[in-house]
């Protein structure tokens, strides 16, 4: 066998070994990519599938296919300020009406989700869409919704309600914060990273101008609640 033939065979064998190694590494690479993308949501989905990583990753990849290209809809600086002010107004009511405050916080967040282009009609789809871009806060929102559902029957303590409002606020702040699409579609200054605690003047107390709560949240009196 000539030296040239030997070299060709060695190179071919190396290529085959490298290809097999790449194929073998793909599941681990996919798992790593999904873990980085979804963070704690990855572990939650794996646990829900009773440790079946393959099934969990299939679900998460399905979410990416459906919602990975979903871009937040623009929010004007004026609308953002109104949302921040409305949050401040409802937060001030917590001491007197903690359960009502949580319910209004959920509805206000639902309204903001709708304006940002997220699905709001079906709970599981809403959570799936949120998990793609807000994987580190979506579970906090689930926990808050669980407390709000229990509060409808008077089974939530004041401390649980307070914690739930804080958890709703985490997602609210992420959604209300300015994104590139906002500045691309709306002229004028915006307050990037506006925090709900900084709101003050112009509050509407979580209501529209006609005094009614704005619909949009998923927790309403007598409604059923499901986890994604």
**224 lies in some domain:** no
Under the banding of pLDDT at 50, 70 and 90, the label for residue 181 is: confident
Tell me if 69 is assigned to some domain: no
Q: Are 49 and 56 in contact (CB under 8 A)?
A: yes
**Whether residues 49 and 146 fall in one domain:** no
- Judgement on whether residues 86 and 115 belong to the same structural domain of the protein: yes
- Per residue in 2-21, pLDDT (tens digit) is 776 656 555 666 655 554 54
Residues in the chain, overall count: 228
92/172 same-domain check: yes
The dihedral over CA atoms of 197, 206, 201, 174, expressed in degrees to the nearest 10, equals 40
**Helix ranges (DSSP H) in the chain:** 3-38, 40-48, 53-67, 77-91, 98-116, 123-133, 138-151, 158-176, 180-185
Residues 20 and 124 in one domain: no
Instruction: Give the number of domains in the chain.
Output: 2
- pLDDT per position as a tens digit, 102-133: 999 999 999 999 999 999 889 999 999 999 99
Is 154 found in the same domain as 89? Answer: yes
Residue 216 lies in a domain: no
Find where tokens 């939650």 sit. Answer: 44
Q: Please tell me the distance from the alpha carbon of residue 73 to that of residue 111, in angstroms, as a whole number.
A: 13
Distance CA(26)–CA(151), nearest Å, equals 46
> Of the given ranges (25-39, 89-103, 211-225), which has the lowest mean pLDDT?
211-225
Indicate if 31 and 144 belong to the same structural domain.
no
Same domain, 96 and 185: yes
* pLDDT given for residue 133 in this prediction: 93
Judged on CB neighbours under 10 Å (0-12, 13-18, 19+), 60 is buried
Residue-level pLDDT at 98: 97
Q: Note whether 50 and 114 are same-domain residues.
A: no
225 in a structural domain:
no
Residue 45: pLDDT band by 50, 70, 90 thresholds? very high
Q: What is the mean pLDDT of residues 129-150?
A: 95
Q: Per the domain annotation, does 65 fall within a domain? A: no
Taking the C-alpha atoms of residue 131 and residue 39, their distance in angstroms, rounded to an integer, is: 10
Kindly state whether residue 70 falls inside one of the protein's structural domains: no
Query: Is 207 part of any domain?
Result: no
Print the domain residue range for 12. 3-58
Q: Would residue 119 count as lying in a domain?
A: yes
Distance CA 131, CA 123 (A): 12
């Amino acid at each position: 066998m000539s030296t040239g033939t030997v070299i060709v065979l060695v190179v071919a064998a190396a290529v085959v070994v490298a290809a097999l190694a790449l194929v073998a590494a793909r599941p681990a690479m996919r798992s790593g990519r999904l873990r980085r993308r979804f963070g704690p949501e990855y572990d939650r989905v794996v646990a829900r599938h009773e440790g079946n990583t393959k099934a969990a990753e299939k679900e998460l990849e399905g979410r990416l296919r459906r919602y990975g290209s979903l871009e937040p809809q623009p929010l004007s600086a004026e609308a953002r300020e109104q949302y921040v002010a409305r949050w401040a107004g409802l937060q001030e009511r917590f001491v007197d009406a903690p359960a009502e405050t949580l319910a209004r916080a959920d509805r206000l967040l639902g309204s903001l989700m709708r304006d940002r282009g997220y699905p709001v009609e079906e709970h599981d789809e809403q959570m799936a869409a949120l998990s793609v871009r807000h994987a580190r806060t979506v579970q906090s929102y689930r926990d808050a919704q669980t407390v709000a559902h229990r509060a409808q029957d008077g089974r939530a303590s004041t401390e649980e309600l307070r914690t739930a409002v804080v958890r709703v606020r985490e997602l609210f702040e992420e959604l209300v914060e300015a994104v590139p699409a906002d500045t691309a579609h709306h002229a004028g200054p915006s307050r990037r990273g506006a925090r709900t605690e900084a709101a003050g003047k112009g509050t509407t107390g979580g209501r529209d101008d006609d005094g009614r709560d704005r619909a949009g949240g998923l927790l309403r009196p007598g409604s059923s609640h499901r986890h994604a």
